């Protein structure tokens, strides 16, 4: 870790020069990042195909395009966000003015995963740069080709003392060693298990953290939903990136009265999207590595496979698979699936669904399909989750206008758009006091001043 300590020292020294606080500097660096992403688009697409078999359309939509949109949005609004905000002052501080200053933390550490390796590295980096921080990136070793292009772009765009990349050798152990160093902010995207390690290590230095984790995100189909449209939107969200999406519908709760119709529509959608044999489709991704492949195959032992179930270990291919007749005690229902396997559970009472979901750890996302507005409001108000959609899946994470993040076991902190700027900024409050007069009521001896105080502070 000597190299890490050396680079970290350079970044801390550079940050204290004040260069990154300059608004024009930040705008210039964001614009530079945008240009180099556009310049390297072909290589990013090739890398994502190599690592995950992502089609050009899916890779651009979920990895490149979403980042270009984010940069454009941030650059459009950054001057406004960065302005000092004047706020009201209590009467008890007469002849004072109150302000909120947004200032960078210092050096941020961004640890990103393999499932959306480009997007989930660049999105938090945009927030870090926008707020005026230096940054150290730790991409995943499990998406090696994408990590290579990330290193190429970062080294061409930025000096090492501003933004650097930690070589992604080693897994959990290298992250633990990295976390022994003192950073000013840590942003982690990944599993709950490693998230706990990150938080524990950060506590040593009292470093603030954002944890973007995951969990078992439920998808609920009510009896009065538009079944055909629901099936299409759910199939898209579930099998995007072969299910390797932190906000993918993890399991389906479908009303008993529409279960058969829904399953038929869902199977039709799979055929429509990927053909009779999805293994021959250029639009269906692959499992990232053999370890994840073996884990997923182990989940096929319980329940009845309605469709799918085919796999090819050499290609790391698992077909879009639907399973029913499973229980909450089966392995597939104990942890996040993170793959193209979709367990189906029927229900009759929506209140029972609410109780079941609330008995589990708080999910990162929740999706509810219903045309009943009372039922919609009931689900929104009674279940805690990071974010979600009514009558759609996944799309809430792509909005620059609304922050995205988890709650409870699914994470803490939220970002995207202004949320990213706020996340990587310390909000420093300040009162500027006038010297024209000095009201003596606050000074001892107090005598009967309590009467006046009660009038002012009631």
| Mean pLDDT, residues 216-231 | 97
pLDDT band at 2 (very low <50, low <70, confident <90, very high): low
H helix or E strand, kind and range, residue 323: strand 321-324
Sequence-separated (6 or more) residues with CB below 8 Å from residue 224: 370, 371, 372, 375
Annotated catalytic residue, options 212, 219, 269, 336:
212
**What is the structure's pLDDT at 457?**
85
Annotated catalytic residue, options 58, 63, 219, 246:
246
| Mean pLDDT, residues 236-254 | 98
| Mean pLDDT, residues 325-341 | 96
Structure confidence by residue, pLDDT tens digits, 146-168: 999 999 999 999 999 999 999 76
Closest-CA residue to 409 (of 118, 193, 158):
193
Domain ranges of the chain: 2-213+411-430, 218-405
pLDDT band at 1 (very low <50, low <70, confident <90, very high): very low
In the block, which residue shows the tokens 């790391």? Answer: 316
Closest-CA residue to 397 (of 423, 357, 364, 422):
364
Structure confidence by residue, pLDDT tens digits, 310-324: 999 999 999 999 999
| Mean pLDDT, residues 89-101 | 92
**What is the structure's pLDDT at 171?**
55
Structure confidence by residue, pLDDT tens digits, 413-424: 999 999 999 999
Residue 335 vs residues 83, 151, 157, 295: alpha-carbon distances, Å: 44, 33, 39, 11
Active site residue 212: yes
The fold for domain 2-213+411-430 equals Aldehyde Dehydrogenase; Chain A, domain 1 (3.40.605)
**What is the structure's pLDDT at 169?**
59
The fold for domain 218-405 equals Aldehyde Dehydrogenase; Chain A, domain 2 (3.40.309)
| Mean pLDDT, residues 405-410 | 96
| Mean pLDDT, residues 78-91 | 95
| Burial of 289 from C-beta contacts in 10 A (0-12 / 13-18 / 19+) | middle
Structure confidence by residue, pLDDT tens digits, 166-206: 976 555 557 888 999 999 999 999 999 999 999 999 999 99
């Amino acid at each position: 870790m000597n190299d890490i300590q050396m680079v970290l020292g350079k970044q801390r020294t550079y940050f204290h020069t004040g260069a990154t606080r300059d608004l024009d500097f930040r705008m210039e660096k964001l614009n530079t990042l945008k240009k180099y992403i556009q310049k390297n688009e072909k290589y990013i697409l090739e890398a994502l195909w190599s690592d995950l078999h992502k089609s050009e359309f899916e890779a651009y939509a979920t990895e490149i395009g979403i980042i270009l949109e984010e940069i454009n949005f941030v650059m459009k609004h950054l001057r406004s966000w960065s302005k000092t905000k004047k706020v009201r002052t209590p009467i008890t501080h007469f002849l004072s003015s109150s302000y909120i200053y947004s200032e960078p933390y210092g050096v941020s550490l961004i640890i990103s995963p393999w499932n959306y390796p480009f997007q989930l590295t660049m999105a938090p980096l945009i927030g870090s740069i926008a707020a005026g921080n230096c940054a150290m990136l730790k991409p995943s070793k499990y998406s090696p080709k994408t990590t290579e292009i990330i290193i190429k772009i970062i080294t061409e765009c930025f000096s090492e003392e501003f933004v650097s990349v930690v070589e992604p050798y080693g897994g959990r152990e290298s992250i633990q060693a990295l976390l022994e160093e003192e950073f000013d902010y840590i942003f982690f995207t990944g599993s709950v298990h490693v998230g706990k390690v990150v938080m524990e290590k950060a506590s040593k230095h009292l470093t603030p953290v954002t944890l973007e984790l995951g969990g078992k995100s439920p998808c609920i189909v009510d009896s009065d939903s538009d079944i055909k449209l629901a099936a299409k939107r759910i199939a898209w969200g579930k099998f995007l990136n072969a299910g390797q999406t932190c906000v993918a519908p993890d399991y389906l709760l479908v009303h008993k009265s529409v279960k058969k119709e829904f399953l038929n529509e869902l199977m039709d959608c799979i055929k429509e999207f990927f053909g009779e044999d999805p293994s021959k489709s250029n639009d269906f991704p692959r499992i990232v590595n053999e370890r994840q492949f073996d884990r997923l195959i182990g989940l096929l032992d319980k329940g009845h496979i309605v469709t799918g179930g085919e796999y090819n270990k050499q290609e790391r291919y698992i077909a879009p698979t639907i399973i029913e007749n499973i229980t909450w005690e089966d392995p597939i229902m104990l942890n996040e699936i993170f793959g193209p396997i979709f367990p189906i559970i029927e229900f009759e009472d929506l209140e029972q669904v609410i109780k079941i979901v609330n008995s589990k750890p708080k999910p990162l996302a929740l999706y509810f399909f219903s045309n009943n507005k009372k039922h919609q409001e009931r689900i929104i108000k009674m279940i805690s989750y990071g974010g979600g959609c009514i009558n759609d899946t996944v799309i809430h994470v792509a909005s620059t206008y609304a922050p995205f993040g988890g709650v409870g076991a699914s994470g803490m902190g939220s970002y995207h758009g202004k949320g990213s700027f706020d996340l990587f900024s310390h909000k420093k409050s300040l009162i500027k006091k006038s010297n024209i007069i000095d009201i003596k009521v606050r000074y001892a001896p107090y005598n009967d001043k309590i009467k006046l105080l009660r009038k002012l502070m009631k």
